Structure 1
């Protein structure tokens, strides 16, 4: 991982999802804020992806729920890609943008673990990106089959780590960023 070829990718941290109180909400917010802050301090680009769920959806374009959550919001000039599918790469231009910038590594976080983060992680891997997922920077909600805790633990420890991504403690990812030379 180095400063020239790495980007932080924050996916779907939007008001409607955060107002529904995802699992480990406070830890998720704190971890994402720390990753974003340290990325900016070391000159890493932070890129956002925002989901448009379509008319009538809680994430419908232009609604309050669609807006990026204030605690993790982009600064002026940071890129936001709009999506309508689980993968941040499908029909968004994100893949082309990252290749044009010669990005080879992605630090990925956001919502929801088993939907958009999983699809984005695997799509990035298939496109040749090295994916880093700081532990506890993704979250989700309980469903009829699994608790949110079971889902996040399963994806972080069993599905992604060593297969599609390197899942590491937040502190380790931040330490790697702090060791980047400031350009």
Structure 2
């Protein structure tokens, strides 16, 4: 499993400050995965969304910054995006291919937007995907609350179709493989 990376998508200050579903568990679990990945020399790659001028996630603003509890080290890659997909016009696929990456451990925000789109794009590009439990989240909307959205996407849409949804402990074992 040397060809595995941890991908952290859109865990940005403005979004976390709006308190998504299961917020603290998600942050704590992502932090744990980052620590294990770094210790086991697995690359941690970040993706950050820019919504444009005047928006909550405007490039360069405090809200646009990667949340301080999981911020990247100086040597870790950050890809900037303007679409729901972490792959569209970011150079991420080319970078992963240059490193011969075949497995992505996907975490971040928001479950039904950027995580869903990134999951399906990665699947279409031929990557194996692991989505650790309680490492993606979203907000209540007028149709479903954040917990129902999380459960629906993780267990009805993604698991055994586009990805393997694994426990945190199972994912850590994957990160520890050399």
Contact 2:4–2:175 (Cα < 8 Å) also in 1: no
Partner of 1:39: 37
Residues 24-173 of structure 1 aligned to structure 2 (within 5 Å): 24-173=22-171
Matched residue SS, 2:5: strand
TM-score by length of 1: 0.96
Partner of 2:17: 19
Number of equivalences: 178
Matched residue SS, 2:129: strand
Q: Distance in 2 between matches of 1:50 and 1:176?
A: 25
Contact 2:87–2:118 (Cα < 8 Å) also in 1: yes
Q: Distance in 2 between matches of 1:120 and 1:170?
A: 20
Q: Distance in 2 between matches of 1:74 and 1:116?
A: 19
- Once the 2 structures are TM-superposed, how far is the Cα of residue 175 of structure 1 from its aligned partner? 1.9
Gaps of 5+ in 1: none
- Once the 2 structures are TM-superposed, how far is the Cα of residue 176 of structure 1 from its aligned partner? 2.2
Could you list the structure 1 runs, at least 4 aligned residues long, displaced by more than 2 angstroms after superposition. none
Gaps of 5+ in 2: none
- Once the 2 structures are TM-superposed, how far is the Cα of residue 153 of structure 1 from its aligned partner? 0.3
- Once the 2 structures are TM-superposed, how far is the Cα of residue 177 of structure 1 from its aligned partner? 1.8
Deviations 1:68-106 (A, max 9, x none): 001111001100000000000000000110011100000
Matched residue SS, 1:163: coil
- Once the 2 structures are TM-superposed, how far is the Cα of residue 133 of structure 1 from its aligned partner? 0.4
Q: Distance in 2 between matches of 1:91 and 1:172?
A: 32
Q: Distance in 2 between matches of 1:38 and 1:150?
A: 29
- Once the 2 structures are TM-superposed, how far is the Cα of residue 160 of structure 1 from its aligned partner? 0.2
Q: Distance in 2 between matches of 1:171 and 1:50?
A: 26
Superposition CA RMSD, Å: 0.6
Q: Distance in 2 between matches of 1:136 and 1:177?
A: 17
